[in-house]
Amino acid sequence: MAGRLFGVGVGPGDPELVTVKAARLIGEADVVAFHCARHGRSIARAIAGPYLRDGRIEEQLVYPVTTETTDHPGGYQGALEDFYADCAARLAAHLDAGRTVVVLSEGDPLFYGSYMHLHKRLAPHYPAEVVPGVTSLSAASAAAGRPLVEREETLTVLPGTLPGEELAERLRTADAAAVLKLGRTFPKVRQAFEDAGRLGDGWYVERAATDRQRVLPLAAVDPADVPYMSLALLTSPAERSFAAPPPARPEGTGGVWVVGLGPAGRPWLTPEAQDVLASATDLVGYGPYLDRVPPNPRQRRHGSGNRVEADRARLALELARDGARVAVVSSGDPGVFAMATAVLEAAAGDEFADVPVQVVPGLTAAQAVAARAGAPLGHDFCVLSLSDILKPWDVVERRLAAAAEADLVLALYNPSSSRRRHQLPAARDLLLKHRSPETPVVVGRDVGGPEESVTVTTLGELDPERVDMRCLLIVGSSATRVTGQGVVYTPRRYP
């Protein structure tokens, strides 16, 4: 079978600007071909050097003529046509033998690259692929640190070999332009910029992306010291006419965003929450929840313990009042047994009346556990916290009894902790007065986290000793069902 031909752009000079694909193909190639003048040195070969493997075949394609005269009957163009035909035949012999051939090209193979002459001759007959590379134009713009074009502007690319009058006319009407192929053409190009009235706007970049790189105003360049590997730039008019002030935080941008992180992990974080976290100047939250947000040295982090919600809320509002963009983080949804209420309570007084507060919703633990189990919340349901830290236990009991008597599915938050061991057994016993012992119960622990487990049991067999603060329970209604595969669901139609 015939081999494959690759025209591979190796960029403007820095081996680190070679693309991952180009580096791989160079390393895998049976044959590596490159153009050079009679001195034998090749810029493309030097760039690709770090990626070449031992044992490859190298084909040195030596130009018969560069800037000197030739006695070829067809002149300069005729000599090059014969040269490209000969090179194509040499590479075709390798392709016929089934070898993979990579032809190196500085910059991009199809942007003033010699490879294109081989591609036109070989691609119709062999499998061929062009791997683009960073152009000298892109490298020069980056080296100068000046945008080429923006919005509706147009970019004109010109070879320095054009007649001076044509260069001047095109530069006169161009938004932005790049003139390549300098060297001996530089005096003419510089004069064209001057004739077009654009010399003061021009920049000169020499050997971009190499250790010999130079960047100068075009008017300051000595014509006697300009190599071929250089170009002249006329950058974006918008860039030339606008000097941006130093970045500063605009007045009035302070505020508090109470952000739901979801039950665990970035995949369950909403795009809105990600955007708020990325744009915040300060992050406030319970330490373990704050640890779930990747650190950024640009942001200040204010972690605290689990039982100082009011202090956290006040700190966030004070920071925002001073102009900070504050993200207060909560697990799950901030409006469900979390920080949103604490922040809004603190903001209700006159002291923080001018501080805007927004709540950014998150995926709740109840939703996450339900999704893992199936659809136990498919009909009416009730959400309750079994914690009696902020409300008396008799209130919890009355609400549990009312929800159980109403035959609602229950999602039970804070079912147990190291210091609260009696609530869950008491809740189970109370529910058994209204529900069958066969009522399905889902116990979700650390859902979305590394220790995730989801257990389907029954109300009669529920073991409170296996439940801790990292769990959420879903207790089914009389209509909740468990399939043979262990999937739990509550029908949308009630009997």
Cα separation of the two ends of the chain: 70
**How much is the mean pLDDT over the chain?**
91
Rounded Cα distance between 18 and 22, Å, is: 6
Rounded Cα distance between 360 and 260, Å, is: 6
Q: Are 368 and 447 in contact (CB under 8 A)?
A: yes
Rounded Cα distance between 326 and 254, Å, is: 7
Mean pLDDT of 269-290: 93
Residue 44: name the closest of 230, 232, 229, 233 by CA: 229
365-489 maps to which CATH number?
A: 3.30.950.10
Q: Looking at this protein, which amino acid is placed at residue 438?
A: E
Sheet holding 300-304, edge to edge: 300-304, 282-286, 325-330, 255-260, 357-360
- The answer regarding whether domain 137-238 maps to CATH 3.40.50.150 reads no
What confidence score (pLDDT) does residue 349 get?
A: 84
CATH 3.30.950.10 placement within the chain: 137-238, 365-489
Q: Look up tokens 């089914």; give the residue.
A: 476
Give the pLDDT confidence of 107-155 residue by residue, as tens digits.
999 999 999 999 999 999 999 999 999 999 999 999 998 888 898 999 9
Give the pLDDT confidence of 430-463 residue by residue, as tens digits.
999 999 999 999 999 999 888 899 999 999 999 9
Residue 177: name the closest of 199, 149, 196, 214 by CA: 149
Q: Are 321 and 334 in contact (CB under 8 A)?
A: no
Rounded Cα distance between 11 and 277, Å, is: 37
255-360 maps to which CATH number?
A: 3.40.1010.10
Rounded Cα distance between 181 and 186, Å, is: 9
Mean pLDDT of 11-30: 96
Residue with more model confidence, 51 or 75: 51
Which CATH number fits the domain 5-133, given the four candidates 1.20.1090.10, 3.20.20.370, 3.40.1010.10, 3.40.50.280? 3.40.1010.10
Mapped onto helix, strand or coil, the DSSP state of residue 439 is coil
Rounded Cα distance between 386 and 367, Å, is: 18
pLDDT at 288 over 70: yes
Q: Looking at this protein, which amino acid is placed at residue 486?
A: G
Rounded Cα distance between 444 and 467, Å, is: 9
Provide the whole-model pTM.
0.65
Mean pLDDT of 55-62: 93
